[in-house]
Chains A and B, each alone.
Chain A
Amino acid sequence: MPTAPVIETQALTKVFGAQRALDGVNLTVAPGAIGLLGPNGAGKSTFMKCLLQLQPITSGTAKLLGREVGREGREIRKRVGYTPEQDCHIPGMAGCEYVTYCAQLCGLPFQAARQRAHEMLDFVGMGQERYRKADTYSTGMRQRLKLAQAIVHDPEIVFLDEPTNGLDPKGQAQILELVQSLWKTYGITVVVSSHLLQDVDKICEQIIIIARGRVLVHDTLENLKARKRGAAEVVMSAGHLDLQAACARRSWPCEVLPNGHLKIEHKAESLNPLLTVLHELKLVPLEIIPSPNALEETFVQALEISHAAA
Chain B
Amino acid sequence: MPLHDTSYQHWDGVHLGLWRRRWAIAWTGLTAALQNKWIQHLVALCWCGGLAMIALLFFVGQLLVEDSIIVQWVGNLNPELQGFVRMFTSWLEQHPEVSVRTTQDVLFYFFGIFLMALSIFVLGMALPQFITRDLASNAIIIYSSKAVSRGDYLLGKFAAAFGLLVLTWLGPVCTAWLVGNLLAPDWRFFWHARVPLLHALVFGLSSMCILSALVLGVSATSSKEKSTISLWYTWWILGGVVVPIAAHTQPWLRHLSFNFNLNQIALAVFRLGDDLKIAQDNVPVLGPMLSNIRPDTMRALTSPAIGGALVGLLLMTGLAAVVVGKRVKPE
Q: Interface of A with B (CB < 8 Å)?
A: 49, 52-55, 73-75, 77-78, 80-82, 84, 86-93, 101-102, 104-110, 112, 116, 119-120, 122-123, 125, 149, 151, 153-154, 181-182, 185-186
Name which residue of chain A comes closest to B16, CB basis: A107
Q: Could you say which of A53, A87, A154, A185 contacts B11, with CB atoms under 8 Å apart? A: A154
Inter-chain CA distance A54–B137, complex, in Å, is: 17
Q: Is the CB of B2 within 8 A of A106?
A: no
Residues in chain B near residue A182, CB distance under 8 A = 8
Q: Is the CB of B21 within 8 A of A116?
A: no
Name which residue of chain A comes closest to B9, CB basis: A119
List 24 A-B pairs, Cβ < 8 Å.
Answer: A49-B331, A54-B145, A73-B149, A74-B147, A74-B148, A74-B149, A84-B145, A87-B138, A88-B141, A89-B137, A90-B134, A92-B133, A101-B24, A102-B142, A102-B146, A107-B15, A107-B20, A107-B147, A108-B16, A116-B9, A120-B8, A123-B8, A151-B8, A182-B8
Q: Is the CB of B137 within 8 A of A77?
A: no
Knowing A90-B137, A102-B146, the reply to whether A107 touches B17 (Cβ < 8 A) is: yes
- List of 10 A-B pairs having minimum Cβ-Cβ separation, nearest first: A107-B15, A105-B146, A78-B147, A104-B24, A82-B145, A154-B11, A122-B6, A54-B330, A88-B138, A90-B139
B1-40 interface (Cβ within 8 A of A):
2, 4, 6-13, 15-18, 20-21, 24-25, 28, 32, 35
Residues in chain B near residue A84, CB distance under 8 A = 138, 141-142, 145
Residues in chain A near residue B20, CB distance under 8 A = 104, 107, 109
Does B280 sit at the interface, judged by CB under 8 A? Answer: no
Knowing A52-B145, A54-B331, A84-B141, the reply to whether A123 touches B6 (Cβ < 8 A) is: yes
Name which residue of chain B comes closest to A89, CB basis: B137
Q: Is the CB of B139 within 8 A of A105?
A: no
Q: Is the CB of A92 within 8 A of B13?
A: no
Knowing A91-B133, A92-B35, A123-B7, the reply to whether A106 touches B139 (Cβ < 8 A) is: no
Inter-chain CA distance A53–B21, complex, in Å, is: 19
Residues in chain B near residue A54, CB distance under 8 A = 141, 144-145, 330-331
Residues in chain B near residue A154, CB distance under 8 A = 10-12
Residues in chain A near residue B25, CB distance under 8 A = 105
Q: Could you say which of B134, B136, B138 contacts A86, with CB atoms under 8 Å apart? A: B138
Q: Is the CB of B142 within 8 A of A149?
A: yes
Given contacts A74-B18, A84-B138, 14 further A-B contacts (CB under 8 A): A54-B331, A73-B149, A81-B145, A90-B137, A90-B142, A91-B139, A102-B146, A105-B24, A105-B146, A108-B16, A109-B16, A119-B9, A122-B6, A154-B11
Does B143 sit at the interface, judged by CB under 8 A? Answer: yes
Q: Is the interface of B mostly helix, strand, loop or mixed?
A: loop
B264-287 interface bits toward A, Cβ cutoff 8 Å, 1 = contact, 0 = none:
000000000000000000000000
How distant is A46 from chain B, measured CB to nearest CB, in Å? 10
Inter-chain CA distance A164–B141, complex, in Å, is: 19
Q: Interface of B with A (CB < 8 Å)?
A: 2, 4, 6-13, 15-18, 20-21, 24-25, 28, 32, 35, 133-134, 136-139, 141-149, 330-331
Residues in chain B near residue A92, CB distance under 8 A = 32, 35, 133
Q: Is the CB of A55 within 8 A of B331?
A: yes
Residues in chain A near residue B32, CB distance under 8 A = 92-93
Residues in chain A near residue B144, CB distance under 8 A = 52-54
A-B pairs with CB below 8 Å: how many? Answer: 115
Residues in chain B near residue A82, CB distance under 8 A = 145
Q: Is the CB of A104 within 8 A of B2?
A: no
Name which residue of chain A comes closest to B148, CB basis: A105
Q: Is the CB of B137 within 8 A of A88?
A: yes
Residues in chain B near residue A73, CB distance under 8 A = 149
Residues in chain A near residue B4, CB distance under 8 A = 122
Q: Is the CB of B15 within 8 A of A78?
A: yes
Residues in chain B near residue A55, CB distance under 8 A = 330-331
Knowing A84-B145, A186-B8, the reply to whether A104 touches B21 (Cβ < 8 A) is: yes
Q: Is the CB of B146 within 8 A of A106?
A: yes
Q: Could you say which of B7, B13, B28 contacts A101, with CB atoms under 8 Å apart? A: B28
Residues in chain A near residue B8, CB distance under 8 A = 119-120, 123, 151, 181-182, 185-186
Q: Is the CB of A88 within 8 A of B139?
A: yes
Q: Is the CB of A87 within 8 A of B137?
A: yes
Residues in chain B near residue A149, CB distance under 8 A = 142
Residues in chain A near residue B141, CB distance under 8 A = 54, 84, 86, 88
Inter-chain CA distance A153–B24, complex, in Å, is: 15
How distant is B16 from chain A, measured CB to nearest CB, in Å? 5
Inter-chain CA distance A102–B18, complex, in Å, is: 14
Q: Is the CB of B9 within 8 A of A77?
A: no
Q: Is the CB of A49 within 8 A of B16?
A: no
Name which residue of chain A comes closest to B31, CB basis: A97
Inter-chain CA distance A226–B214, complex, in Å, is: 62
Inter-chain CA distance A74–B149, complex, in Å, is: 7
Residues in chain A near residue B142, CB distance under 8 A = 84, 88, 90, 102, 105, 149
How distant is B62 from chain A, measured CB to nearest CB, in Å? 46
| Of B2, B7, B141, most A-chain CB atoms within 10 Å | B141
Residues in chain A near residue B331, CB distance under 8 A = 49, 54-55
Inter-chain CA distance A149–B141, complex, in Å, is: 12
Name which residue of chain A comes closest to B18, CB basis: A74
Inter-chain CA distance A107–B17, complex, in Å, is: 7
Inter-chain CA distance A105–B8, complex, in Å, is: 20
How distant is A66 from chain B, measured CB to nearest CB, in Å? 17
Residues in chain A near residue B15, CB distance under 8 A = 78, 106-108
Name which residue of chain A comes closest to B146, CB basis: A105
Q: Is the CB of A49 within 8 A of B147?
A: no
Knowing A54-B144, A77-B145, A101-B28, the reply to whether A112 touches B2 (Cβ < 8 A) is: no
How distant is B31 from chain A, measured CB to nearest CB, in Å? 10
Knowing A88-B141, A90-B137, the reply to whether A108 touches B11 (Cβ < 8 A) is: yes
Q: Is the CB of B146 within 8 A of A77?
A: yes
Residues in chain B near residue A93, CB distance under 8 A = 32
